[in-house]
Amino acid sequence: MAGPGSELPSGPVAPMLLSWLTGLGAGMVLLSFMQKLLYPYFWDDFWYLLKVVCCGFRMEMYRLKGELVTVLDKFLMHAKKQPQKPFIIYEGDIYTYQDVDKRSSRVAHVFLNHSTLKRGDTVALLMSNEPDFIHVWFGLAKLGCVVAFLNSNIRSVSLLHCIRSCEPRALVVGADLLGTIEEILPSLPGDISVWAMKESVPQGIISLKEKLSTASDSQVPHSHHVASNLKAPYLYIFTSGTTGLPKAAVICQLQAMKGSAGLWAFGCTSNDIIYLTLPLYHSAGSLLGIGGCIELGATCVLKKKFSASQFWNDCKKYNVTVFQYIGELCRYLCKQPKREGEKDHRVRLAVGNGIRSDVWREFLHRFGNIKMCELYGATEGNICFMNHTGKIGSVGRANFLHKLFFTFDLIKYDFQKDEPIRNEHGWCSHVKKGEPGLLISPVNAKNPFFGYAGNRKHTEKKLLCDVFKKGDVYFNTGDLMVQDQENFLYFWDRIGDTFRWKGENIATTEVADIIGMLDFIQDTNVYGVAVPDYEGKAGMASITLKPNTSLDLEKVYEQVVTFLPAYACPQFLRIQEKMETTGTFKLQKFRLVEEGFSPLKISDPLYFMDKLKKSYIPLTKEIYDQIILGKIKL
Ligand SMILES: *[C@@H]1O[C@H](CO)[C@@H](O)[C@H](O)[C@H]1NC(C)=O
Ligand SMILES: *[C@@H]1O[C@H](CO)[C@@H](O)[C@H](O)[C@H]1NC(C)=O
Ligand SMILES: *[C@@H]1O[C@H](CO)[C@@H](O)[C@H](O)[C@H]1NC(C)=O
């Protein structure tokens, strides 16, 4: 998912650059006329980067003074200064800064008195968007625990995998997700205590809700959570990376602080009311959204789920001024029937990622002059872009100023082999302007990569070594980007073993493993195919059958809906005689992706997931046409 805010310089270089930039600014006034002619985006770039530098400067001061002001510390400051200010509004109820402070202290006291949790222990949190998500998160943060946010859509084997990979001492689950945990309770490692936000709980689970009602709401001593180190782990957020099952990316204090500066960098203030419908278990919701509100001391209108039909009513009702989006969300809003007074609201700004230029234009035309701020970044990545100039479709712009702080390269990529192109000496090379290339960024002390919890192998897989010279190390974003002549950057595609659908990253191997569990399946190759008018790619599973077996479509359907979250179930099946592999023995995907899902072009049998019939049905030309025309919704 799109990630935490800006990358900021650290180390003594920041103050120096600040004075350098100020000097440069003064000089530039004289050259302003020339500049308008030659560098039309100079001031946009300049003011934006000045903000970035200021923020880096502030952090540098904290560091020099030896006192770290973390996101939690900021929150506590607001709770003291503006206790009565609404922090979260949820289903019409207002939770002030003080309310959230007190209830999170209760959570902390429950764990202090009824568990052996210590500072530095990991606690997994499985909860939908609701105020208690924030109470539990902050409560545990007050004890110095590392909270691992679990995706509330995943179940069974995938969920177990995620829980095991971050080795928690405890697991906290929301009332509505208790069933999900009950399913896996017998398989959970025995040393994990399970706590539920519910009064009556089955055996083997502790009622956190009941204990909260009698817990003290007094302040938790600062010494429990004082952060000594910017690089101390603060959260685990699961991402699909480019390969395999979800991995817990380590979010340290520094990244959380950077993420929380995102809304501020786009010009939000404490008077803003931020509408948040994105899941809190992703970094966009938690770090950028909640963290961003805390940085500003603003109010957040939190929704359990996004609803296109309620969206503008809510915006009007709560005087919303800013919302966070993913591309799909804007498209759903554009698809809503037109109504009177659609421009009659106070929304002035939207921050998010993945909106397509045609939707962007339509959105502005229909809903009025909302400043759309596109942002690119990976949760675990060490790079980020923001569209600080407002070019439609672009995620940002890289010029010589930008390059001082955000170093990145676009390298040539072999789509067929699914790997970077290396020349005869083994080195990678840059793409030309206008050509898609793989986005990588150097990993070094100034630009660290914190890796994933547990498995070192995963961390190493995200890194590319010996790229331009012996011994260099780069973070592989897995994203292909194009840079145009004016240095605007555009997202092109995602490589490797993931694709995006409905705002979620889908790991193809995870889907393939689930389908591969069926006894008549020989091999499964999962990939995404482009469907007109949809963001991301729709899932297709290409399978081969074991000899002398027959395909049971209902079983495949049952298997995927039981074990996979709805967004990860493949929309299409393709039955192949034989799996093709690439020269390096990876499954061939490129050609299959290119071939898409048209029954006119593909002679292999194709099937389509039919939720009414609870099975896969043959993908006929009629069904295909209806999908293309948007009459069948995916
Ligand atoms: C929204 O703003 C109007 C006008 O300033 C005000 O009367 C109203 O109370 C506000 N609504 C909320 C929910 O704050
Ligand atoms: C990003 O692009 C939009 C769309 O044109 C523009 O209105 C907005 O000002 C840009 N963002 C920033 C931070 O300038
Ligand atoms: C499949 O069935 C055919 C004919 O019934 C038989 O000759 C063949 O050995 C079987 N193959 C396997 C792998 O069982």
All structural domains of the chain with their residue ranges: 97-226, 386-494, 498-628
Q: Phi then psi for 359, rounded to 5 degrees? A: -65, -40
* 190 touches ligand 3 (CB under 6 Å): no
Q: Write the pLDDT tens digit of every residue in 312-343.
A: 999 999 999 999 998 888 888 998 999 888 99
The token pair at 448 is: 């660290």
Write out the E strands in 3-131: 86-90, 93-96, 122-126
- Paired sense of beta strands 122-126 and 93-96, if any: unpaired
pLDDT bucket at 257, cuts 50 / 70 / 90: confident
Question: Hey, what CATH topology would domain 386-494 get?
Answer: Luciferase; domain 3 (2.30.38)
Question: Hey, what CATH topology would domain 97-226 get?
Answer: Rossmann fold (3.40.50)
pLDDT bucket at 1, cuts 50 / 70 / 90: very low
Token look-up 């990622």 returns: 353
Q: Write the pLDDT tens digit of every residue in 160-201.
A: 989 998 899 999 999 999 999 998 999 999 899 999 999 999
Atom of ligand 3 at shortest distance to CA of 547?
A: 13
Atom of ligand 3 at shortest distance to CA of 548?
A: 1
What's the confidence (pLDDT) of residue 13? 45
Write out the E strands in 335-487: 349-353, 371-377, 384-386, 396-397, 409-411, 413-414, 419-420, 437-442, 463-465, 473-483
Cα(135) to ligand 1 centroid in Å equals 27
pTM of the model: 0.79
User: What CA–CA distance (Å, rounded) separates 100 from 77?
Assistant: 13
Exposed/middle/buried for residue 234 (C-beta within 10 Å: 0-12, 13-18, 19+): buried
Cα(549) to ligand 3 centroid in Å equals 10
> Is the pLDDT at 27 greater than 60, yes or no?
no
Please tell me what DSSP assigns to residue 284: I
Buried-exposed string 468-505: b where 16+ CB fall within 10 A, e elsewhere: eeeeeebbbbbbbbbbeeebbbbbbbbbbbbbbbbbbb
Q: Which ligand is nearest to the CA of 273?
A: 1
Q: Which ligand is nearest to the CA of 321?
A: 1
Q: How many C-beta atoms surround the C-beta of residue 131 within 10 A?
A: 18
> Is the pLDDT at 434 greater than 60, yes or no?
yes
Atom of ligand 1 at shortest distance to CA of 317?
A: 13
Cα(260) to ligand 3 centroid in Å equals 62
* 319 touches ligand 1 (CB under 6 Å): yes
Nearest CA, atom 2, ligand 1:
319
Cα(577) to ligand 3 centroid in Å equals 16
Atom of ligand 2 at shortest distance to CA of 267?
A: 13
CA distances to 26, 415, 509, 563, 576 from 593, rounded to whole Å, are 52, 11, 16, 24, 14
* 318 touches ligand 1 (CB under 6 Å): yes
Indicate the top mutation candidate among 275, 319, 348 to test ligand 1's pocket, ranked by most ligand atoms within 8 A of CB: 319
Q: Which of 129-138, 139-148, 373-382 has the lowest mean pLDDT?
A: 373-382
The token pair at 50 is: 């000045």
Cα(368) to ligand 2 centroid in Å equals 13
What's the confidence (pLDDT) of residue 175? 95
Cα(390) to ligand 2 centroid in Å equals 3
> Is the pLDDT at 4 greater than 60, yes or no?
no
Nearest CA, atom 12, ligand 1:
318
Q: Write the pLDDT tens digit of every residue in 524-538.
A: 999 999 998 888 899
Domain 498-628 top-level CATH class:
alpha beta
Nearest CA, atom 5, ligand 3:
548
Q: Which ligand is nearest to the CA of 547?
A: 3
Query: Residues 57, 15: contact at Cβ < 8 Å?
Result: yes
What's the confidence (pLDDT) of residue 227? 75
* 547 touches ligand 3 (CB under 6 Å): yes
- Going across the sheet that includes 170-173, the strands are 206-207, 193-196, 170-173, 122-126, 146-149, 233-239, 247-252
Nearest CA, atom 8, ligand 2:
390
3-class SS of residue 258:
helix
Please tell me what DSSP assigns to residue 160: H
Q: How many C-beta atoms surround the C-beta of residue 163 within 10 A?
A: 22
Write out the E strands in 180-308: 193-196, 206-207, 233-239, 247-252, 273-276, 299-302
Buried-exposed string 443-467: b where 16+ CB fall within 10 A, e elsewhere: beeebbbbbbbbeeebbebbebeeb
Indicate the top mutation candidate among 330, 357, 387 to test ligand 2's pocket, ranked by most ligand atoms within 8 A of CB: 387
Query: Residues 157, 563: contact at Cβ < 8 Å?
Result: yes
Of the candidates 498, 350, 380, the residue with the CA atom closest to the CA atom of residue 449: 380
Q: Which ligand is nearest to the CA of 393?
A: 2
Q: Which ligand is nearest to the CA of 319?
A: 1
At 125, the amino acid letter reads L
User: What CA–CA distance (Å, rounded) separates 460 from 475?
Assistant: 9
User: What CA–CA distance (Å, rounded) separates 622 from 601?
Assistant: 14
DSSP, residue by residue, 315-346: HHHTT--EEEEEHHHHHHHHHSPP-TTTT-S-
What's the confidence (pLDDT) of residue 606? 96
What's the confidence (pLDDT) of residue 385? 67
pLDDT bucket at 214, cuts 50 / 70 / 90: very high
Cα(389) to ligand 2 centroid in Å equals 6
Cα(520) to ligand 3 centroid in Å equals 14
Token look-up 């419908």 returns: 277
> Is the pLDDT at 508 greater than 60, yes or no?
yes
Token look-up 């889907």 returns: 511
Nearest CA, atom 7, ligand 1:
319
Query: Residues 453, 460: contact at Cβ < 8 Å?
Result: no
Atom of ligand 2 at shortest distance to CA of 369?
A: 7
Q: How many C-beta atoms surround the C-beta of residue 269 within 10 A?
A: 12
Cα(108) to ligand 1 centroid in Å equals 35
* 548 touches ligand 3 (CB under 6 Å): yes
Nearest CA, atom 14, ligand 1:
318
What's the confidence (pLDDT) of residue 457? 65
For the CA atoms of 77, 78, 80, 84, what is the dihedral angle to 10 degrees? -170
Please report how the helices 97-114 and 71-81 are oriented relative to each other, as an axis angle in degrees rounded to 10: 120
What's the confidence (pLDDT) of residue 455? 62
Mean pLDDT to the nearest integer, 230-239 = 86
> Is the pLDDT at 497 greater than 70, yes or no?
yes
